[in-house]
């Protein structure tokens, strides 16, 4: 089934925006700022709302469902490397202002922070599109302060909410070094469902993509 969509107006505009990767020095400076009040050996919590739900890439001591207030999950970030290219950008999730977001928090052993956090910064802060913040997350076992990557609205890669047909057209066309944008969106939706997290808007988008007849991630 051929579901290739023509470039959308937003997709064309996204491809024309300035783009550059952060240098290792910029990432290191950002990491140092985020950890400036961390006490060596102290366990830390990390909040996941997108791919960190199904691919955390670090060992953890504990995992809990958690709610973050003040931000919501949205496909609001242009991806020109992981799930798109500079010429044909895709969309990935960010935490935009307003509402709340159901996700997960991971507790990392303090002794492993110096090992895991540089890799986490390489993954999440490659373009400086997020703002690392320590925010309260509500869990059934109590509130924890976790590292949260929220959307930097001042970054050129930020895009406000798009009409669903335009959003779908962008996602269907894009692919990057980690694979098709479609797989990323569908796999995130599936991981949230498996965790018992209900996101009605994402579910609707993912089901439209699943109906396209494209190959889905293994286990879908």
Tens digits of residue pLDDT in 122-155: 999 999 999 999 999 999 999 999 999 999 999 9
> Which tens digit of pLDDT belongs to each residue from 96-107?
999 999 999 999
Contact of 204 with 185, CB cutoff 8 Å: no
Mean pLDDT (whole number) for 15-44? 91
Asked if pLDDT for residue 22 goes beyond 90, the answer is yes
Interatomic CA distance for residues 76 and 54, integer angstroms: 20
Whole-prediction pTM: 0.89
List the catalytic residue out of 26, 61, 62, 124. Answer: 124
What phi, psi does 177 have (nearest 5°)?
Answer: -65, -25
When pLDDT is cut at 50, 70 and 90, the band that residue 7 belongs to is low
CA 43 vs CA 68, 139, 166, 187: distances in Å: 20, 17, 42, 29
Residue 111 predicted with pLDDT over 90:
yes
Rounded distance, CA 61 to CA 46, Å? 11
> Integer distance in angstroms from the first to the last C-alpha of the chain?
18
pLDDT-derived band of residue 20, with 50, 70 and 90 as boundaries?
Answer: confident
- 87 in catalytic set: no
């Amino acid at each position: 089934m051929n579901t290739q969509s023509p470039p959308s107006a937003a997709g064309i505009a996204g491809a024309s925006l300035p783009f550059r990767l952060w240098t290792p020095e910029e990432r290191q400076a950002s990491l140092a700022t985020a950890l400036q009040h961390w006490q060596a050996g102290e366990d830390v919590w990390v909040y996941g709302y997108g791919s960190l739900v199904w691919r955390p890439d670090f060992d953890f001591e504990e995992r809990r469902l958690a709610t973050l207030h003040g931000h919501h999950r949205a496909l609001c970030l242009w991806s020109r490397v992981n799930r798109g290219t500079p010429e044909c950008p895709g969309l990935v999730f960010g935490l935009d202002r307003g509402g709340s977001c159901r996700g997960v928090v991971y507790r990392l052993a303090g002794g492993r922070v110096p090992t895991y956090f540089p890799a986490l910064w390489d993954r999440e802060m490659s373009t400086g599109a997020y703002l690392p913040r320590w925010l309260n997350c509500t869990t059934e076992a109590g509130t924890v302060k976790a590292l949260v990557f929220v959307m930097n609205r001042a970054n050129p890669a930020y895009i406000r909410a798009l009409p669903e047909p335009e959003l779908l057209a962008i996602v269907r066309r894009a692919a990057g070094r980690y694979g098709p944008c479609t797989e990323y969106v569908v796999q995130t939706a599936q991981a949230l469902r498996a965790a018992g997290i209900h996101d009605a808007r994402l579910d609707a988008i993912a089901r439209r993509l699943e109906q396209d007849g494209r190959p889905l991630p293994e286990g879908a």
